[in-house]
Amino acid sequence: MCGIAGFALAPGAARSGFDGAGLTALVRALAHRGPDGAGHSMVGRVGLVHTRLAIIDLDGGDQPLFAGAAALIANGEIYNDLALRASLPEVRFATGSDCEPPLHLWLRDGQRYVDSLRGMYAIAIHERGTHTLTLSRDPFGIKPLYVAEAEDGIAFASEPQALLSAGLVERRLRGEARDELLQLQFTTGRDTIFQGIRRVLPGETLHVANGRVIDRSRIPAFAEGPAEAIGETEALARLDRALEESVSLHQRADVPYGMFLSGGIDSAAVLRMMSRLGRSRVQAFTAAFDVPEAADESAQAAVLAKAAGAHHEVLRIDEAMVWRHLPDIVASIDDPVADYAIIPSWLLARRARRDVKVILSGEGGDELFAGYGRYRSAMRPWWMGGRPMRRRGTFDGLGVLRGSGRAWRSGIAATELNNAGGRSRLAAAQASDMTEWLPHDLLLKLDRCLMAHGIEGRTPLLDPVVAEAAFRLPDHLKVRRGMGKWLLRRWLETQMPEARPFAPKQGFTVPVGAWIAAQGDRLGPLVAAQEGVAEIASPDRVHALFRNAAGRREQHAAWTLLFYALWHRTHIQARLPAGDVFETLSA
C-alpha cells in the first residue's frame, strides 16, 4: 500500500509545476501513504512519484520498477503474485515485489495485462519508447486513483489533495457534487467534488499519449446476467473454498497484520477463516463507545475472539476524544464522505498502527451477500410496499438548505437504470451499491482512515473468487425468512456457532448525534458562520437544527453540516485544523 502520482505533458507544454519541484510537492503530499521511503522518475515529458509503505520484499521492493523500456509505480497488493511469476518462466525477476509481475505482463500483453491480476491496485506504467502512460484501477475500486486533465497534459495521484497541494489544480467546488454529498453522504460517478479532478473508475484502464487520454477500457467486478442454478449444499462448499483461498492470499505479508472485529457476520467470517488457517495468533481490534445507550458489539466481539483464540483489544471512544480529533479525521477525507463511521475507523487505525501494518476487514459482505435491509424493500414491487433505495435525501423536508430540488439524485438514478437489465430486483440493488456506495463511501473511508496512519487495509470478501461464489446466487440463497446474507450465515453457523449468525443484530451506530445534541447551542453558531455552510443555508435555520437536534433525522443532518463545515475549511479554503472542533471552527 503506497501513494502514487505523476504527470504526462503534451508536446510543447509549459513545464510550470510539472518539474522536479512539482514531483517533490507530490511526495510531500503523499508522505502519509508511504512512510517507508520515496522514489521518482522524470523521463522526457513524464514524471512518476512513489511513496512506499513496505509490506512485501521490505528491502528490495522500492519503486519505480524498471524493465526494458517501461517503468511502473503501484499502490496496492497483487495477491496472485506467486502464480503470475510461475506463468512467466522466461522472466528473470529483479525483486521479490508483488508489483513486479504486472510490469512484465504489461510488456507481454499491453493494456490487457490487468486481466491477469488478482488484487487491489492503482498502477501507472510509463513506456519510454512510445511516450505513453497507462493508468489502471482494480475492479472493486479498493485502491483510489484520480486524474486532472488540462491543456498542458494530464496529472494523476492517489488522492485529490495531492494534486491540490502541488498546485496542479485550483481549489474550486462543483456545486452539483456538493448537493449530492449533503443529501446522499457521498458523491457518485467519475466527477469528484473538485472541478477539474476526476476518478479513474473501478476496473478502468486509461491509455495516455502526448498528455491526452486516447483510450479507455474497463473490466467488471461482478458478473452480468441472471442468477445461476445452484443448490445450497453446492453453494456452501464453493463458498468455503473461495473464502479459504481469499483469506489465505490476503494474509501474505512480511510485516505484522491483524483485523478489525465487530460483532457482526462479515468480520466474524474473516476471523474464523484466519483462525482456521492458523498462520499465527490473530490480533483483533474492536471499537466501542463510552455512551450507555449506544449499540455496543464489543462483548460479542470478545466472545468471537475467545472462540478463535485471538488476541483482542477494545478501544473505548468517548465524546472528548471525538471532539479533539474530528478536525484531523475530516482532513484525511479529501474526497468527502459524510459517513460517521470515519470516526471509529480513523481512531481504531491510530491505535492498531502501534502493533500492525496491515488490517483485514469485512467490507463488501453486505453488498455481495445482500445484507442491507434496503435490499429486502427493493425486492418487493411498489404495490407490495417496495421502495427504491435512497429515495429521500438527508435534508429533504427539513427546510435547512436554500435549494431543495431533486437533482442530487440524478447520479444514483442513472446507476440504478444501468444495473436493472437482466437481473432480479435484489441483484440490481446490489449492483447499484457495488457501483457507487461501495467504492465512493465504504472503501474510500477505509483507505483514507487507515492510510492516514500508514496502515494497509485489505478486504478478503472483495475478491474475484468470492464474488463469483456470491453475487449470482439465486435470491433465496441471499435473503430468506426476512434475513439477508443467508448463505454466509449458514456457513458461519457450521464454522463458528459462537457467532450466533441467526440472532437479531443491533447494527453498528456511532452516537455522534447524541453528542451533537448535547453541544447544539455551542456548535450551531460556529457551523452556521463557516463560509461553506453560509453559502447553502441561512444561519437561523442552522441554529435551530443544532438547537433542536433531538430526532434521528435532525441529528444526521446536523452531523452532515458539521462534517461539511470542517471539510470545506480544509480542502477548499486550505485552512489546516487549529485544535479541537470548537477551536478549529472558531479560528
Residues 6 or more apart whose Cβ sits within 8 Å of residue 62 = 37, 39, 52
Separation CA 249–CA 99 (nearest Å): 15
Contacts (Cβ under 8 Å, ≥6 apart) of 16: none
d(CA 82, CA 67): 18
Q: Are 209 and 132 in contact (CB under 8 A)?
A: yes
Using alpha carbons, list the distances in angstroms from residue 27 to 30, 35, 37, 449, 488.
Answer: 5, 10, 10, 19, 42
Strands of 219-373, DSSP E: 257-260, 283-289, 311-317, 358-360
H or E element, residue 170: none
Q: What is the 3-state secondary structure (H, E, C) of 295-337?
A: CCCHHHHHHHHHHHCCEEEEEEECHHHHHHHHHHHHHCCCCCC
Spot the catalytic one: 1, 2, 347, 557. 2
Give the span between the Cα atoms of 396 and 557, in whole angstroms.
Answer: 10
Asked if 449 is an active-site residue, the reply is no
**Cell triple for 110:** 499491453
Residue 480 CA to residue 246 CA, distance in Å, equals 26
* Nearest-5° Cα angle at 375, 363 to 441: 35
Dist CA 149 CA 534 (whole Å)? 31
- Cα separation, 424 vs 509, in Å, equals 30
The distance of Cα 106 from the centroid of its chain, to the nearest Å, equals 26
Catalytic residues, by residue number, are 2
